Structure 1
Amino acid sequence: MATERAGMKQQFLDNSARYEALKTEVTHTLEKALESIENVKIHSVTARVKSVESFLEKVERKDYADPFKQSEDLVGIRIVCLFLTDLPKLKELLARTFDVISEEDKVNRGDASSFGYMSHHYICRLSAAHSGPRYDDIKAIKFEVQARTVLMDAWANISHHLAYKNEESIPVDLVRDFHALSGLLYVADRQFETLNRDAAHSAARAEKEVLKSADIQDSAINSDTVRALLQRQYPDRKHANEETVSEFISELPWIDLSDLRDLAKILRDNHRAALEYEKQYPPGLDGRGSFADIGLARAALAIYSPEYAAQKYSSVDTSHAEFRNR
């Protein structure tokens, strides 16, 4: 047995360069594919080659007759996304990108209240698109892809840290708490999904009421309505992301501005002056840049309000003042 174990260990070490090459190729291919998928927010993509100690332990535990053929996770990739509805989209992406040999759904086919973590597991090989001498040594090796949400990943990491490998190993007085916590995280995942869906509806409603209506009816200032207003006021400019819009909204109380229609009027009335400011003080190191929508909006507010200009820029900056009466 010791001789057989030593032989497996040496064979694994001899193949380690191939496993590392496969990990690099799969990670690169997957990251490129993820760039093309829409409406999926990826938290992280990680990859690892199984350690030789972990490989030998699994071979003994599973009593593999042909270890290198039966081991399907020598290379492992983990995709962590934000929402449950991202998981089916990742499934479709994997099917387009690799040859998926088998899959196991531990989310919809598992028990949410039982011990253990939930995720989607896929056993894959490189597809026919990976052809040529570069792939000859790695294209036959299977690898595993796990897809899970952030909360699933958190539960997996915490339960792994607690070192309970299965439900039978949990102390009896802790079983109920483990079940409750696992179920709680599952419910939280569902609630995040609902929140994400409601947020999308809110954005669509703001776009309809602010961007596409003849007159602005909604007076509420929030991320959705302000983004729609900026798109309406500056349709030809680069539009800011959610984080930048939120930062902009946090600046509006400096001038006691809490009504969307008031903000729209300020931006509209000071638009020409903001364009003249941009022409005289263009952004960028080469002096040839142009403002995104938020940049023009901030220029308009600074021209309109000395208080805003002093808060946002500095009390000694008088560049906006010369445009105030134009």
Structure 2
Amino acid sequence: MSDTNLVNWYIKSQPVYKRLANKVESFLIEYFDMNSIGYHIVTSRAKTIESVRGKGNSGKYNDPINQIQDFAGIRIITYVEDEISLIQKVIEDNFDIDVENSSNKSEALGIDKVGYQSVHYIARLKQDRLRLPEYKQYEGKCFEIQIRTILQHAWAEIEHDRNYKFSGKLPDELSRRFKILAGVLELADKEFNSISNQIDDISASVDEGTKTGKLDIPISSTTLSQFLLTRFKTVIETMGVPSHDSEGVLVEELNAFGITTLSELESIIPEDIEKFYIASSNGSLHEWGMVRSLMLLHDFRKYGEIVKSDEPGDWCNSSSHIDTEFELEYYKKHNVDWNELAQKYNYCFDLELESGL
């Protein structure tokens, strides 16, 4: 086929391949989100006309229209390697895979080489979907799906896509350094994956420990979040998932309060706290209000000593806005003196309700 014929054909066909790529991208994002499958980003594209012209002129194809298989392409970027295998199962379950033309570039490298790593699928929509009228236009059309981690993607972008400086034959010394860098990225990828798995293991142990009462577990941002999610599962499912203490502020406050393990935190949780959380949440929960309330309710003066060196207003949070009679009575029951907190420890509260305290 001549270059002109290929390009003219693709000018007419490109909109269909764009729609196909968008359909697959949308399906995958929705599937991943609905099934809580981790990923970083999913993107799609149809090949540019210039790219198709270049492939047609490469001399690799006798019949480029039928032999070029990536007119439409979808790329899935994951955070860690273990997410790739989960996504592979989704791809294999939901599309017809051309096994002969699909590949795993990592396996192709063997054990003694480093470099480009990615899983490539050549796929088509399944017949049950093609029978739907809106999908008839995609009959016989294949597409490529690439799956790689963020670090594999970074390597691929540098080596293949974005920077001509790194293409072709490099001087030996530069080529060696380039390959060493690929090895470093591969090791980092595996280490991120290992750390991610260990964090998951910690969360699982906290979940089990909370259910069984075995809570001799040091407090960290990870263990604290999982403890709250398990311990107050019913309330959180009703009111919303609490935001994560990503900076470790609550861990520092708890440690200063003398609480270093989950069992110690469990020991200061008062009766009927779930009702208090619902009354004080204003429709949603967050970790700061939940945990700080526990410290205030247990010993407001001790908590006041922790925060008194800060500027007034620094410690406003959900525990300092009293909106219901139940909250007011609950704080009174636990002898929390808000005026003393404000005057002696610079702890702010909702001044509109000061007279009620």
Q: TM-score, normalised by structure 2?
A: 0.75
Change (3 A) 1:59 1:187: same
Gaps of 5+ in 2: 334-357
The alignment-based identity, stated in percent, is 23
Kindly provide the CA deviation profile for residues 276-296 of structure 1, in whole angstroms up to 9, marking residues without a partner as x: 5753x550xxxxx36467654
Give the counterpart letter for 1:213 in structure 2: T
Take 1:215 and 1:89, find their aligned partners in 2: how far apart are those partners?
32
Supply the RMSD in Å over aligned alpha carbons. 3.2
Q: Deviation of residue 139 (structure 1)?
A: 2.4
| Per-residue Cα deviation, 1:117-136 (whole angstroms, up to 9, x for no partner) | 21000001111121232122
Shift of 1:85: 2.0
Could you tell me which residue of structure 2 aligns to residue 13 of structure 1? 11
Match of residue 251 from structure 1: 250
Task: Report the TM-score when normalising by structure 1.
Answer: 0.82
CA displacement 1:112-170 (0-9 Å, x = unmatched): 7646421000001111121232122212111000001111001111223332676x522
Deviations 1:149-202 (A, max 9, x none): 111001111223332676x52222211101101111111111122212222222
Secondary structure (helix, strand or coil) at the match of 1:194 reads helix
Deviation at 1:23, TM superposition (A): 1.4
Which one of the candidate residues 257, 262, 265 is aligned to 1:263?
265
Contact 1:112 1:186 (C-alpha < 8 Å) held by counterparts: no
Count of residue pairs brought into register by the alignment: 311
Alpha carbons of 1:321 and 1:62: their partners in 2 closer, same or farther (altered >3 Å)? farther
- Pair 99,296 (structure 1): closer, same or farther in 2 beyond 3 Å: same
C-alpha change, 1:213 and 1:137, in structure 2 (3 Å) is: closer
Residue 40 of structure 2 corresponds to which residue in structure 1?
43
TM superposition shift of 1:263: 2.9
CA distance, structure 1, for counterparts of residue 277 and residue 21 of structure 2: 52
Query: Is the 1:43–1:80 contact (alpha carbons within 8 Å) kept by the matching residues of 2?
Result: yes
Question: Separation in 1 of the partners of 2:128 and 2:43?
Answer: 23
Please state how far the C-alpha of 1:15 moved relative to its aligned partner: 1.1
Taking the aligned partners of 2:24 and 2:15, their CA distance within structure 1 comes to 14
CA contact (8 A) 2:6 2:56 kept: no
| 1:313 equivalent among 293, 313, 316 | 316
Structure 1 residue 246: Cα displacement: 3.4
Structure 1 residue 299 displacement after superposition? 3.5
| Secondary structure at 1:61 match in 2 | coil
Distance 2:292 2:154 in 1: 40
Distance of aligned partners of 1:252 and 1:302 in 2 relative to their CA distance in 1, 3 Å threshold: farther
* Deviation string, structure 1 residues 224-268 (Cα, Å, up to 9, x no partner): 432343245423221676961435x413534723423443333x1
Q: Aligned residue for 2:344?
A: none
Match for 1:163: what amino acid? Y
Measure the CA separation in 1 of the matches of 2:16 and 2:10. Answer: 10
The structure where helix makes up a greater share of residues is: 2
Q: CA deviation at 1:10?
A: 1.6
Q: Secondary structure at 1:136's aligned position in 2?
A: helix
Contiguous gaps of at least 5 residues in structure 1: 284-288
User: What residue number does 1:32 align with?
Assistant: 30
- Distance in 1 (CA, whole Å) between partners of 2:134 and 2:179 is 48
Tell me the residue number matched to 1:286. none
**Deviations, residues 41-68 of structure 1 (Å, cap 9, x unaligned):** 2001010110000111011114322111
Question: How many angstroms apart in 2 are the aligned matches of 1:277 and 1:203?
Answer: 23
